[in-house]
Chain A
Amino acid sequence: MSTATHIPQKGSHTGRILIIATHAFTQLVRMKVFYFLAIFAIITIASNFFNLPQHEGPESVGTNVLSQIKGWSFGTMHIFSVVLSIVATALLLPKDVEDRTLYTILAKPVPRFDYLAGKLLGVMLLIFISLALMDGLMTLVLQIRTSMVAKEQMEMATTLGWPQREIDALRAETFSNGPSWSMQGAVIAVFLRASIMASLALLISTFSTSTLFTTIVSFMVYFIGHFQADARDVYLHGGQAGEGMIAKVTSLLFALVLPDFQIFNVIDAVIQGETMPIIALGKLTLVALYYAMFFTIASWFIFSDKEF
């Protein structure tokens, strides 16, 4: 029988975070969350056949169908990414505590920050891959449908004897509602919003005692986030607070802690065929990065002193 030899430790922070992230990703995949993608596929394909009442001329029918496909697809992506980011994150931590698997992980040379960051990254990885797959399917369906719509419209315009200039304008309008870089930017924005929600759910789950509490509070913060900009505006300009220094500081602190989800309304503009400026995407990325880091560091402060 050999005597015990000591294996030198070589694990780095990044290595450990990636191991935990990959594991969290596998765990969620084996919980069959990708079944949702089948629902998405059905919705995206079915959105081709929804016939809403038309008030515009026949030349608008095609572009409306394209907007409709994008609307339904982005709507589904929105629901999936937000629900998954909250529920998955809210589930992972309490489950590890309940099953005592957390003890075995923290009893290894794993800093608590690495554990938290790994779990968060695992959820983000799942959302990213899911959105990428959804984006791929949506782009494919849109590409096919845009070609069909463009062909139908060209035939219609030629039959009606439209001048070439108007035909070109119609063609350009049709393709502006098809797949575009702005659409890819909007998908990234959906991912960024979900990342904020995942890191927020992580923060709540570090002090919450149940998955249900974390989920409910996270959704509440999410809904409040859609009104916080209006509320601050009313507070500063319409109420008793006026525009004093204290009111401004209070308002600023509120905004620093609670994300303003109205800035993600640019996604709706993209669905309507508008272009998303790169500067807008850059701004969204910075905002998401700030909140994700802020919530993760706050989670670490709470989690580092937590007793099990």
Chain B
Amino acid sequence: MVETLAAVEIRDLVKDFKTSFRRKPLRAVDGVSIRIMPGEVYGLIGPNGSGKSTTMKALLGLVAPTSGQCSIFGKDSLKVDSRNDVGFLPENPYFYKHLSGVETLRFYGKLCGLGGRKLADRVGELLALVDLEGARDRRIGGYSKGMLQRIGLAQALIQEPRLVILDEPTAGVDPLGSRQIRDLILKLRERGITVFLCSHLLEQVQEVCDHVGIIFQGRMIREGRLDDLIAIEDQMEIVLRNASPELISKIAALVKDAPDAELVRTGKPRTTLERLFLREIRDEER
């Protein structure tokens, strides 16, 4: 049987940073291994300084591993050709302020060897995707934080990469902008693009990722399918609409009669504050 090539393969990654003279080097990443298959959306979560960004930078060849190996679709991350298939959005990116949105995308497209009609079409397509057609000729210096993140995502996608790496894609963005970015990530998933993102906003990771890894003090402490990791194995949830108190009583009676079963909780499920906020904003806009 032919094994599918992993989109991302990180094996026993260790990264030490030199500190001041005589002091021990700082170990930012300690034996991390990650395997992401094509089409997966993988979220690396962990507190600040836990080694998330360093792991991503090692994958992009921006830092060299002290030991271990990183590869993208089977190509060594330290080799330039591994980046043909990658798009990267760094944390809090600042693009060239003197360029407009269109010029920015053209610049990155040309760096990837695109040109002519193909590049022009791709730029138009991406501006539509990230909803920045109205700001296409405006200088980047005048973009809001959310717009910067979206143009950043567009530049990451310019050469139609098979893998997109996003470092804190919603950091500092308001709930509306954050929602737009998450919708874009979901669109990428629908297109079959592999997404590797890191964040410390857990609810957002939960919403878009199908696999997660928890990194703490440079070590991977838990990893797997999101559904498997967060499911409470011995409980089951039933959500009812327009259920009368009588029906609830009947269900409770049925549960009481069943051996081993226990009714843990009844009540109204709650929406999230974010959903409430977005609904109110949209209602106001109408």
Binding site for B on A (CB under 8 A): 1-12, 15-16, 19-20, 23, 26-27, 30-31, 99-101, 103-111, 305, 307-308
Closest residue of chain A to B122, judged by CB? A7
Of the candidates B89, B160, B165, the one whose C-beta lies within 8 Å of that of A4 is B160
8 Å CB contact of A15 from B89, B113, B187, B193: B113
Q: Report the nearest B residue to A3, measured CB to CB.
A: B192
Residue in contact with B62 in the complex, picked from A7, A8, A307, CB distance below 8 Å: A307
Closest residue to B160 on the A side, CB-wise?
Answer: A7
Given contacts A6-B160, A10-B114, A99-B93, 15 further A-B contacts (CB under 8 A): A5-B160, A7-B159, A10-B113, A11-B113, A12-B113, A23-B96, A23-B107, A31-B98, A103-B90, A105-B111, A107-B86, A107-B88, A108-B112, A109-B81, A109-B84
Residues from chain A with a CB closer than 8 A to the CB of B98 are 26-27, 30-31
Instruction: Please report the C-alpha to C-alpha distance between residue A9 and residue B85 in the assembled complex, in whole angstroms.
Output: 10
Ordered nearest first, which 6 A-B pairs have the shortest CB separation?
A: A11-B113, A107-B88, A99-B94, A30-B98, A10-B113, A307-B63
Q: A1-B190, A3-B192, A308-B63 are in contact. Are A104 and B88 (CB under 8 A)?
A: yes
* B57 CB–A CB distance under 8 Å: yes
Contact of B111 among A11, A99, A100, A308 (CB under 8 A): A11
Question: Is the CB of B191 closer than 8 A to any CB of chain A?
Answer: yes
Q: Which residues of A contact B63 (CB under 8 A)?
A: 307-308
Residues 47 to 99 of chain B near chain A (Cβ within 8 Å): 57, 60-64, 80-81, 83-96, 98-99
CB contacts (< 8 Å) of A110 on chain B: these are 80, 83, 111
Q: Which residue of A lies closest to B191 (CB)?
A: A4
In Å, the complex CA distance between A100 and B80 comes to 19
- Of A9, A30, A305, which is within 8 A of B112 by CB? A9
A-B contact count (CB 8 A): 112
Task: Tell me the bound Cα distance from A211 to B177 in angstroms.
Answer: 35
The answer to whether A7 and B93 have CB atoms under 8 Å apart is no
The reply to whether the CB of B110 lies closer than 8 angstroms to some CB of chain A is yes
Contact (A7, B155) CB under 8 Å given A1-B187, A23-B107, A101-B93: no
* Contact A103–B62 (Cβ < 8 Å): yes
Residue of B with least CB distance to A5: B160
Is B162 an interface residue when CB atoms closer than 8 A count as contact? yes
Q: B88 touches which one: A9, A99, A103, A307 (CB < 8 A)?
A: A103
Q: B152 contacts the other chain (Cβ, under 8 Å)?
A: yes
The residues of A that contact B143 with a CB separation of less than 8 Å are: none
Asked if residues B112 and A109 are in contact (CB atoms below 8 Å), the reply is: yes
Partner of A100 from B60, B85, B94 at Cβ < 8 Å: B94
* 19 chain-A/chain-B pairs, Cβ below 8 angstroms: A3-B191, A5-B160, A8-B113, A9-B113, A12-B113, A16-B111, A19-B111, A23-B107, A99-B93, A100-B93, A103-B62, A103-B93, A105-B108, A105-B111, A106-B62, A107-B83, A108-B83, A307-B64, A308-B62
- Of B96, B160, B191, the residue contacting A1 (CB under 8 A) is B191
Q: Are A101 and B95 in contact (CB under 8 A)?
A: yes
B285 to chain A, nearest CB (A): 26
Contact of A4 with B62 at beta-carbon distance under 8 Å, contacts A9-B112, A101-B94, A109-B84 already known: no
- Chain B nearest CB: distance from A302 CB in Å? 14
Say whether B108 contacts A108, CB under 8 Å.
yes
Residue of A3, A9, A19, A109 ringed by the most chain B CB atoms within 10 A: A109
